[in-house]
Structure 1
Amino acid sequence: MPAAMNKSNGYHNEAFEMHPESQVQDTKSIENGLSKTDEPVKDADGRDTWSSGLEFLMACISLSVGLGNIWRFPFTAYENGGGAFVIPYIIVLIIIGKPLYYLEMTIGQFASRSSVKIWKACPLLKGVGIGQLFGTVSVISYYSSLIALTLYYFGVSFQAVLPWSTCLDEWMPNCIDSSPSNNTSFQPGTLSSSELYFLRVVLREKYDISDGIGYPSWQLAICLAASWVVILLIIMRGVKSTGKASYFLALFPYVVMIALLIRAVTLDGAVDGIIYFLKPNWNELLNPKVWYSATTQLFFSLSVCMGSVVMFASYNNFSHNIYRDAMIVTTLDTFTSLLAGTTIFGILGNLAYNLNTTDISTVVRSGTGLAFISYPDAIAKFDVVPQLFSVLFFFMLFVLGTGSLVALQTTVVTVICDQFEFKFWKVATVSIVLGFCAGLVYVTPGGQWILNLVDYYGGTFVPFALAIVEIGGIMWIYGLDQFCKDVEFMTKRHVTPYWRICWAVLTPGLLIVIFVYSMVNYSPVTYSNNLYPDIAYVFGWLIIGLAFLQVPIWGGLNVWRNWTGGLIESIKKTIQPTELWGPRDSSSRAEWMKFKKDYFSERERIIEEKQHNIFMQKINMLFGRYR
């Protein structure tokens, strides 16, 4: 019997399953596997499910449509030339974003397990799921500080005059009021009062952290604590409470975003900014840096390869229409990013108009604070009750950030509870306290320096690199044809060549090319064009190293557990799915095995009848012709 055959559950493991000669033995193995699945396969503590499919959809929208769209997408586009960034972003969405999102949704729903336990499909790669948690925890650590900033701005918006709308005396003469009433003359190097307020009052930002990052701001620390309390109240009852909150978390922000867009496009000079955002620079399409930035932004926005998508989908009913939801969420996410980008660049166009310059790329300092500069600047220009709209806007940002952080935090808690069978609320409470402590680092004068560092190494680099291993493990080890048949059984729809070609070739191929480019052209990350102290780079690489080491550590441990007397044979055994892999429900599991048995028998018959060689088998499996 070929080494790729699993006697317990009876299906192939190798990429494209290129061993038709073993089909007779496959059938016997499947029959043996059927006899072992009389009882449901489930965790000892059971598993909650969404109250309705709509709850799941709203939860996914609140996860993917968040600060990544409103905060990160505009400044990433700004740093990469506006329109030069949009086209690569949309292309990457089609080739990488949608395939990865649909992949994670389907495997989560199919297995009804967390991002770590789905690797029962290939125990050798269990470390991928654990390594992705390092990326998730990295994002969680600073995401709460962004929510704290939104709460701070929400609080000060109740003042009679928005505090960032006018310049303080100590900022003159290099300051221009964000409020349009007193703008009479402008000088080169002038900054808006919104930018100076954010940097000097809110952040008290340091221009050098070689002597340390300073102490936390007590105002921001209070806001940070309040944000974590809200997160705890939402997630402490698990998916039941998260689902109920998702309706508001997903829908409310669009009301405010659309109103802000209407205001932004009516500002003087807004058209120039929007043109800068949407007009493509064809020469930049050949710049690999733009493609890398587009891909990493897509990962952050959709939250793929962080475990959250798998986790949410794992609470679905097995027969849920996951295809529809994947298409809705990925499309809506991109629409929201473009909506936010149009709003931001409309505001930047207005800033350029006020500063008497035509160079949109120089009107404001780029970076993580862009959304906390440009949006408040636009709100200050409202003629009627800007305070009311400011309150609504920053409450919207708070809601967006909360929706995403709820999902990320629940991912970590779910993995821990699935692995160790702890009480959900206890793990949630402990993780919230640890999250608050970690978040204090980011509300210091040097906090934005650390945020930029952790985002680059932990929130960007780790998920990106492990995505290659994830899709490669599923498509090239577990097997493309194998996985597609799992999807077809669950969704009752044929997997088209678009998905097959992307999953097997285009998506991993483009990811590898972009990753290799980023490594070859690596240069130390900077903040506002300033280098970090050497110890900071050591810390960044430590995050990456700890995440990547999980793959060989857990892979080696599972090989040792499955040791059969030889390294090669032990590895072959470790890439086999375990008996727990597959649908958890016993009736669905039995139907699934019969479905695959019938398919393998028919595929073998076609191969023998048409005498397909190995190459033709691969081509036919790639295009899904064995049906």
Structure 2
Amino acid sequence: MGKQGSYNMGFDASNEDIKTVNGISNGVSSSPTNMMAINVSDKASTNNHDEINHDLEHGPERATWGHGLEFLMSCISLSVGLGNIWRFPFTCYENGGGAFLIPYIIVLILIGKPIYYYEMVLGQFVSKASVKATSVIPALKGIAIGQQLGVLCIVTYYTSLIALTLFYMIKSFSETLPWSFCWDKWTDVICIPADPKFQTNDGEKVVNGTSSSELYFIREVIKEKNDISDGLGFPDWQLTIYLLLAWIVIYLIIIKGVKSSGKVSYFLACFPYVVLIILLIRASTLNGTWDGIRYFITPDFKRLIEPQVWYAATTQLFFSLSVGQGTIIMFASFNRFDHNIHRDAMIVTTMDTFTSLLGGFTIFGILGNLAYSIGEEDIGNVIKSGGSGLAFISYPEAISKFKFVPQLFAVLFFFMLFTLGVGSAVGLQSAIVANLMDFFPKIKQWMMALICCLIGFVIGLLYVTPGGQWILNLVDHFGGTFLIFTLAIFQIVGIFWVYGIENFCWDVEFMLNRKVTKFWRFSWFIVTPVLLIIIFIYFLIKTENPTYGAREYPVTVLATGWIIFGVGMFQILLWISWSIIRDPNKCEAFKSLFRQNSEWGPKSPKVFKEWKTYKSERLEKRRAKSNGDSKIKKCLNILLDKYE
């Protein structure tokens, strides 16, 4: 293959008269239009030296899914996670109820599906995890590494939540659910037992009381501190054991990579639906259920004009679909080169939304019964909060009021949360392991997985301390949301504005043998990145320091959150600087960072050569048709696919 930057949309990067490479003119980025129009060099030459380098770069044979369905199930178990059950219903309720579905579906179509599809394309095309898959433009390497730091943040706190679900699931086998009654030592507060049979006030409504389920979670499970200025405290021994069990389960699933995780994916993807349907059927027989569902879907259309609602829809989408984390790229990298990922991307993104709605109907149906049972007319008053408050306080309280074997439904509910959590954690941890395996292929899969899981367990001890939920909330804000969202914007801009929309579409068409429609072209190049940038600017203007409940973080703790974000973002500058420092020709080294990596492409040497020939032919054909066209006209014609 030729030197870096060996393809261009109509201009020869090697021509001395044209100093343009990858959308950079005289070292300065011109514009998105110019970037698309001149992003790869015209020349498409091959030589033995590049073929040898390509073989060395791509190394030994890569494992593949035992069956294409394993990939689909793994993507479903990754994307359909805890966020669908305890985050989406609360976010929907907070942002206009049923009206929230309008911005959510619009954002799904214009942002969610395009990102999900393009991440699948990247992974499958080069058969590499995210760091090497996105290194088509070398400057993007730091972005993918920063994303993996964000993934490390997410998977470590995610596993601590899995530990909580294990704790509750085991306690659900008790003869009496431990959160259903008031413990004798809670004499300093007015406690309201979750199970009416333990009430001692002749059924009178207690004002300013605290439910036993809330007291149990705060005092007996997480043993929460009111303030963390004096430290986090020591890890709780019980939660530490459950945390260790959670990591052991994750390790056993990923010990052989996709060959082991693929088999388990069938259960992880399907079981939650069985439980959700059982719980929804059970809820439909209870008083107040339909009031809860009606409360969930009743639209407040006035909220649609609020930017906050659209921002909430976008962040929920990122959290739910697991985009911008490199996990989808990693899963797709184990596919056959011609696997139909377009179909799978549409299935997973649709199933994710369906699951969110199903989870919302189920959760609010049960909460409607809870409100009915305690005589509360406003269902919003029985919702403690989203996330852990909904999962470990409101819902357990509702289950306690079931007259028929509440233990059974508690076990089912928490086992469902456990499988949802494990499914997502397996994908997140696999992404970290796969990226490291790409750089250290001589290390055995089981050893790399063991090292990563041990590190994850040690970090996770922070979250099982009395101040753990404070830290979880902080890390989720800075590392799990802000960092991931910001890096995703940089990555999308790099792929579609620097590598180029035309190049990317040619790659898709070569791999899948199907035309890239105008919808995908406009979404990838204009709609998706522009919307994300607008939402990001809104976030910067409106953002405030995170709080835990109504309590503010100490300045030193907040600084830690900003350090997490800063370290992730610094990876971009760090790896760009490193590439320049180690090259004696600094100017050329900088330019090469924004040209196509000559070693990037399909893993198979045979397919790699065919791909180069294909792009060369497409380029010559397009150049012949676009001769004399202005850059703007070229840009529009490429988006409209008029050169074909």
After TM superposition, is the score higher than 0.5? Answer: yes
1:62-81 paired onto structure 2 within 5 Å:
62-81=77-96
Take 2:639 and 2:369, find their aligned partners in 1: how far apart are those partners? Answer: 51
* Structure 1 pair 497–510 and aligned structure 2 pair: CA distance change class (3 A): same
Deviates more, 1:312-321 or 1:442-451: 442-451
Which of 389, 402, 405 does residue 382 from structure 1 map onto? 402
1:179 to 173, 181, 195: 195
- Equivalent positions of 1:293-442 (< 5 A) are 293-369=312-388, 370-421=390-441, 422-442=443-463
Q: Deviations over 1:197-226 (max 9, x none)?
A: 222221222222222222222111111111
Cα shift at 1:112? 0.8
Contact 1:120–1:580 (8 Å) recurs in 2: no
Change (3 A) 1:243 1:17: farther
Distance in 2 separating the partners of 1:169 and 1:155: 22
- 1:424/1:41 CA distance change after superposition, 3 Å: same
Counterpart pick for 2:561 among 529, 533, 540? 540
Q: Which one-letter code corresponds to 2:382 in the other structure?
A: V
| Residues 38-97 of structure 1, C-alpha deviations (whole Å, 9 max, x = no match) | 875653343111111011111111111111212332333344453353332222111111
Map of 2:45 onto structure 1? 31
Asked if structure 2 preserves the Cα contact closer than 8 Å seen for 1:114 and 1:418, the reply is yes
Distance 1:20 1:166, change over 3 A: closer
- Matched residues in 2 for 1:502 and 1:47: separation? 32
TM-score calculated relative to the size of structure 2? 0.90
Contact 1:131 1:550 in 2 (8 A): yes
Conservation of the 8 A alpha-carbon contact between 1:268 and 1:353: yes
* 1:390 Cα deviation from its structure 2 partner: 2.0
1:93 to 108, 111, 120: 108
1:510 aligns with 2:531: yes
CA distance in 2, matches of 1:112, 1:17: 30
Alpha-carbon shift at residue 37 of structure 1 (Å): 3.4
Partner residue of 2:471 out of 450, 462, 465: 450
Contact 2:367 2:395 in 1 (8 A): no
For the pair 1:235 / 2:250, whether they are aligned, the reply is: no
Task: Rate the CA distance shift 1:523–1:584 in 2: closer, same or farther, 3 A.
Answer: same
Q: Give the AA of the match of 2:51.
A: T
**Displacement after TM superposition at 1:589 (Å):** 1.4
Judge conservation of contact 2:96–2:301 (CA < 8 Å) in 1. no
**Contact 1:148 1:220 survives alignment (8 Å):** yes
Residue 28 of structure 2 is matched in structure 1 by none
Give 1:590 shift: 1.9
Question: What CA distance in whole angstroms lies between the structure 2 residues aligned with 1:249 and 1:92?
Answer: 27
Aligned-partner Cα distance in 2 for 1:407–1:226: 18
Aligned to 2:16: none
Q: Deviations over 1:592-611 (max 9, x none)?
A: 12221221122112213xx4
* Cα pair distance change 1:463/1:364, threshold 3 Å: same
Distance 1:209 1:34, change over 3 A: same
**Counterpart secondary structure, 1:49:** coil
Give the 3-state SS of the residue equivalent to 1:188 in structure 2. coil
Tell me the secondary structure at the aligned position of residue 164 of structure 1.
coil
82 and 372 in structure 1: CA distance in 2 versus 1, 3 angstrom threshold: farther
Structure 1 residues 209 and 305 mapped into 2: Cα distance closer, same or farther (>3 Å)? Answer: same
Which deviates more, 250-259 or 595-604? 595-604
* Of 514, 537, 540, the match for 1:493: 514
Alignment CA distance shift 1:420-1:117 (3 Å)? same
Question: Is the Cα contact below 8 Å between 2:119 and 2:328 reproduced in 1?
Answer: yes
Give 3-state SS (helix, strand or coil) of 1:366's partner: coil
Letter of the structure 2 residue corresponding to residue 402 of structure 1: V
Deviation at residue 8 of structure 1 after TM alignment: 12
Using the TM superposition, name which of 361-370 and 45-54 deviates more. Answer: 361-370
Q: Which residue of 2 aligns with 1:291?
A: 310
Q: Against the structure 1 CA distance between its residues 35 and 534, is the aligned structure 2 distance closer, same or farther, given a 3 Å change threshold?
A: closer
CA distance in 2: counterparts of 1:109 and 1:80, whole angstroms: 37
- What are the Cα deviations for residues 427-478 of structure 1, in whole angstroms up to 9, with x where unaligned? 2112111111111111122211111111011000011000110100000000
**1:364-391 Cα shifts (integer Å, max 9, x gaps):** 3214321122332333233322222322
Cα distance between partner residues in 2 of 1:402 and 1:21: 44
Q: CA deviation at 1:565?
A: 5.4
AA aligned opposite 2:272: P
The reply on whether 1:616 has 2:630 as its aligned counterpart is: no
Instruction: Identify unmatched segments of 5+ residues in structure 1.
Output: none
Structure-2 separation of matches of 1:97 and 1:249 = 23
Is the CA contact (8 Å cut-off) linking 1:16 and 1:480 kept in structure 2? Answer: no
| Equivalent residue number for residue 603 of structure 1 | 622
Offset of 1:244 from its aligned partner? 1.1
What is the deviation of 1:551?
0.5
Q: 1:351 to 1:591 in 2, by over 3 A?
A: same
Deviates further, 453-462 or 153-162: 153-162
Q: CA deviation at 1:170?
A: 5.3
* 1:105 aligns with one of 120, 126, 131: 120
Q: Which moved more, 1:199-208 or 1:324-333?
A: 199-208
Instruction: For 1:399, give the aligned amino acid.
Output: T
Shift of residue 563 of structure 1?
Answer: 5.5
Q: TM-score, normalised by structure 1?
A: 0.93
- The answer for the alignment partner of 2:264 in structure 1 is 245
Q: For 1:436 and 1:345, how far apart are their aligned partners in 2? A: 34
Please name the residue that 1:482 is paired with: 503
C-alpha change, 1:355 and 1:452, in structure 2 (3 Å) is: same
Structure 1 pair 18–246 and aligned structure 2 pair: CA distance change class (3 A): closer
- Give the whole-Å Cα distance in 1 for the aligned partners of 2:131 and 2:198: 58
Separation in 2, partners of 1:497, 1:182: 63
Root mean square deviation of aligned Cα: 2.6
Q: Residues 50, 91 of structure 1: CA spacing in aligned structure 2 closer, same or farther, 3 A cutoff?
A: same
**Taking structure 1 as reference, are residues 123 and 451 closer, same or farther at Cα in structure 2, changes over 3 Å only?**
same
Structure-1 separation of matches of 2:448 and 2:39: 46
Residue 196 in structure 1 maps to residue 215 in structure 2: yes
Between 98-107 and 154-163, the greater mean CA deviation after superposition: 154-163
Once the two structures are overlaid, the 10-residue window that deviates more, 33-42 or 549-558, is: 33-42
Go from structure 1 to structure 2 and tell me whether the alpha carbon gap of 1:143 and 1:598 turns closer, same or farther (over 3 Å shift): same
Q: 2:446 is aligned with what amino acid?
A: W
Alpha carbons of 1:7 and 1:66: their partners in 2 closer, same or farther (altered >3 Å)? closer
Structure 1 position 188, deviation (Å) = 3.4
Aligned residues between the structures: 619
**Paired AA for residue 621 in structure 1:** I
3-state SS in 2 of match to 1:37: helix
Task: Name the counterpart of 1:161.
Answer: 176
Query: Are the counterparts in 1 of residues 22 and 35 from structure 2 also a CA contact under 8 Å?
Result: no
From 99, 115, 118, the equivalent of 2:133 is 118
Counterpart-to-counterpart distance in 2, 1:436 and 1:148: 11
SS in 2 for 1:589: helix
Contact 2:81 2:421 in 1 (8 A): yes
Asked if the contact 1:124–1:556 (Cα under 8 Å) also holds between the matched residues in 2, the reply is: no
2-side partners of 1:477 and 1:375: how far apart? 48
The secondary structure found in structure 2 opposite 1:120 is coil
- The one-letter code matched in structure 2 to 1:62 is S
